[in-house]
Amino acid sequence: MTSTHTNSHTEAAKMEQVITEFFYKSLLIILESRSSYVSSRNYSGEQIVSSPSSSSSSSSSVRPRDKWFNLALRECPSALENLDLCRQSNFEPVVVDVILEQKPLDWGPASFSPTSDIVRNLSSKNKNSYFWNSDQDESGSEMKCEKIIERWFVHHESRKGRDFNSGNRRSSCNNLSALYKKLILMLRSLYVTVRLLPAYNIFRDLNSSGLIRSFKLVPRVSSFVEPLTRKEEVDMQRFWFTPVDTSCGRLCLSVLYYSSISDMSSESSTPMSPQFIPDYVGSPLADPLRRFPSLPVSHGSPSSLPFSRRHSWSYDHYKASPPLVSFSPSPTHSESNALVSNPSSRGLPPMSLPPHPPEAPLAHKRDTNFDEYCPSPSFSASPSPSPSPSVPIYIPRTHLSKALLRSESAPVNIAAPKLANSPALSGRQNLPPSPPLKITRAGTSRTDNIRVPAETDATIEKIFSFGKEDCWKYSGVKAFSNSSPRISCSRSSSRSLQDDFDYSEFPCPFDVEDGEMMDPGSRPESYVRRGNPSDPNEAGLFMNRKSPDAAVGALVRMLEKAPPLRQNVSLNFSEASRPEILSNSVPKQSQISEAVTVEHAAAPNIASFRLVASKTTTDALEELRGYKVMKNLLLSEGGKAYTSSNVASAAEHSSTSKDRSIL
Amino acid sequence: MNCEVCQLKELEVEHFEIREVLRCILHTIVFHRALGLVRPKDVDLELFEITYVQCGDVELEKKIDEKIDHFISWVEKHPNKKSQICLSFYEVKSKQPSWFTNKTERLYWEQWYINLNVTQHPKHHSSKSHHTKLVVDPGESATEERSSRRAMVEASLREVLFQIIKFVNEKKDHVPPISEGVIYFPYEITIPSSSDSAFGMDMIKRMLHSGHPTMLS
pLDDT tops 80 at residue B209:
no
Decide if A171 touches B, using CB distance below 8 A: no
Dihedral sign, Cα of residue A19, residue A24, residue A27, residue A33: negative
Question: Which of A49, A50, A189 is the closest to B32 by Cβ?
Answer: A189
Secondary structure (DSSP) of A167-197: S-HHHHHHHHHHHHHHHHHHHHHHHHHTTTS
B35·A181 Cβ contact <8 A: yes
pLDDT tops 50 at residue A412:
no
Question: What's the pLDDT score for residue A597?
Answer: 52
A188·B49 Cβ contact <8 A: no
Question: Mean of the pLDDT values across residues B155-167?
Answer: 95
Question: Mean of the pLDDT values across residues A512-538?
Answer: 46
Lowest mean pLDDT among A604-608, B33-37, B89-93: A604-608
Lowest mean pLDDT among A531-535, A549-553, B70-74: A531-535
Report which DSSP code applies to B202. Answer: H
Residue of B nearest to A253 (CA): B169
Question: Mean of the pLDDT values across residues A283-295?
Answer: 57
Q: Which of B24, B33, B39 should be substituted to probe chain A, the one whose Cβ sees the most A Cβ atoms within 10 Å?
A: B39
Decide if A374 touches B, using CB distance below 8 A: no
Residues of B in contact with A265 (CB under 8 A): none
Q: For residue range A188-212, list pLDDT tens digits in order.
A: 999 999 999 999 988 888 877 666 6
**Residues β-bridged to residue A249:** A158, A246
pLDDT tops 80 at residue A393:
no
Question: Mean of the pLDDT values across residues A359-369?
Answer: 43
Decide if A185 touches B, using CB distance below 8 A: yes
The number of beta carbons lying within 10 Å of the beta carbon of residue A603 is 11
Question: What's the pLDDT score for residue A73?
Answer: 86
Secondary structure (DSSP) of A545-591: SSHHHHHHHHHHHHHHHSPPPPHHHHHHHHHHTHHHHHHHHTT-HHH
Prediction ipTM score: 0.84
Question: What's the pLDDT score for residue A45?
Answer: 46
Distance from the Cα of B97 to chain A's closest Cα (Å) equals 32
Question: What's the pLDDT score for residue A432?
Answer: 46
pLDDT tops 50 at residue A114:
no
B40·A189 Cβ contact <8 A: no
Question: What's the pLDDT score for residue A387?
Answer: 45
Instruction: Look at A617 and A489; give whichever has higher pLDDT.
Output: A617
Question: What's the pLDDT score for residue A61?
Answer: 67
A192·B177 Cβ contact <8 A: no
pLDDT tops 80 at residue A55:
no
Residue A216 C-beta-side C-alpha neighbours within 13 Å: 26
Distance from the Cα of A39 to chain B's closest Cα (Å) equals 11
Which range scores top for mean pLDDT: A329-338, A357-366, A408-417, B126-135? B126-135
How many whole angstroms from its chain centre is CA A517?
Answer: 60
Question: Which of A47, A49, A185 is the closest to B168 by Cβ?
Answer: A185
Give the CATH number of domain B4-215; options: 3.30.70, 2.60.40, 3.30.900, 1.10.1660. Answer: 3.30.900
Which range scores top for mean pLDDT: A385-389, A621-625, A655-659, B200-204? A621-625
Question: Mean of the pLDDT values across residues A107-134?
Answer: 41
Are A18 and A176 within 8 A, CB to CB?
yes
pLDDT tops 70 at residue A343:
no
Are B4 and B159 within 8 A, CB to CB?
no
B158·A193 Cβ contact <8 A: no
Record the pTM: 0.50
- Give the confidence band of A576 by pLDDT, cuts at 50, 70, 90: very low
Question: What's the pLDDT score for residue A191?
Answer: 95
Residues of B in contact with A43 (CB under 8 A): 39
Residues of B in contact with A75 (CB under 8 A): none
Which range scores top for mean pLDDT: A268-282, A432-446, A491-505? A268-282
Which range scores top for mean pLDDT: A72-86, A171-185, A483-497, A633-647? A171-185
Residue A653 to residues A154, A432, B11, B56, B131, Cα–Cα distance (Å): 105, 22, 108, 107, 99
pLDDT tops 60 at residue A218:
yes
Cα gap A610→A510, rounded to integer Å: 8
- Where do the structural domains in chain B lie, given as residue ranges? 4-215
pLDDT tops 70 at residue A261:
yes
Residue of A nearest to B159 (CA): A196
Question: Which of B32, B180, B183 is the closest to A188 by Cβ?
Answer: B32
B136 by Cβ neighbours in 10 Å (0-12 / 13-18 / 19+) ranks as exposed
pLDDT tops 60 at residue A487:
no
Are B178 and B38 within 8 A, CB to CB?
no
Q: For residue range A121-169, list pLDDT tens digits in order.
A: 333 344 444 343 444 444 445 566 888 899 999 989 887 754 544 556 5
Residue of B nearest to A195 (CA): B51
Helix (H, G, I), strand (E, B) or coil at A536: strand
Lowest mean pLDDT among A60-64, A199-203, A626-630: A60-64
Instruction: Say which residues have a Cβ less than 8 Å from residue A328's Cβ, sequence separation at least 6.
Output: A284, A307, A308, A309, A334, A353, A354
Return the amino acid letter for A562.
A
pLDDT tops 90 at residue B10:
yes
Instruction: Look at B60 and A332; give whichever has higher pLDDT.
Output: B60
Instruction: Look at A634 and A35; give whichever has higher pLDDT.
Output: A634
Are A153 and A93 within 8 A, CB to CB?
yes
Cα gap A185→B171, rounded to integer Å: 10
A71·B38 Cβ contact <8 A: yes
A188·B172 Cβ contact <8 A: no
- Give the confidence band of B162 by pLDDT, cuts at 50, 70, 90: very high
Question: Mean of the pLDDT values across residues B119-124?
Answer: 63
In percent, how much of chain A has pLDDT > 90?
10
**Number of inter-chain CB pairs under 8 A, A vs B:** 108
Residues of A in contact with B169 (CB under 8 A): 185-186, 189, 241-242
Question: Which of B52, B58, B169 is the closest to A189 by Cβ?
Answer: B169
Cα gap A211→A10, rounded to integer Å: 52
Question: Which of A45, A181, A192 is the closest to B39 by Cβ?
Answer: A45
Are A281 and A311 within 8 A, CB to CB?
yes
Question: Which of A45, A66, A185 is the closest to B32 by Cβ?
Answer: A185
A70·B36 Cβ contact <8 A: yes
Q: In chain A, what are the domains?
A: 1-36+66-104+144-158+173-263 (3.30.900.10)
Question: Which of B32, B37, B180 is the closest to A62 by Cβ?
Answer: B37
Question: Which of A48, A53, A196 is the closest to B39 by Cβ?
Answer: A48
Q: Which of B37, B51, B52, B158 should be substituted to probe chain A, the one whose Cβ sees the most A Cβ atoms within 10 Å?
A: B37
Are A539 and A605 within 8 A, CB to CB?
no
Chain A, window 56-75: residues with a beta carbon less than 8 angstroms from a chain B beta carbon: 62, 66-67, 70-73
Question: What's the pLDDT score for residue A650?
Answer: 61
Mean pLDDT of chain A: 60
How many whole angstroms from its chain centre is CA A297?
Answer: 22
Are A654 and A462 within 8 A, CB to CB?
no
Distance from the Cα of A32 to chain B's closest Cα (Å) equals 13
A51·B158 Cβ contact <8 A: no
In percent, how much of chain A has pLDDT > 70?
30
Mean pLDDT of chain B: 82
Distance from the Cα of A61 to chain B's closest Cα (Å) equals 11
Instruction: Look at B14 and A426; give whichever has higher pLDDT.
Output: B14
Q: For residue range A21-41, list pLDDT tens digits in order.
A: 999 899 999 998 988 755 555
Are A151 and A253 within 8 A, CB to CB?
no
Are B38 and A48 within 8 A, CB to CB?
yes
Instruction: Look at A252 and B140; give whichever has higher pLDDT.
Output: A252
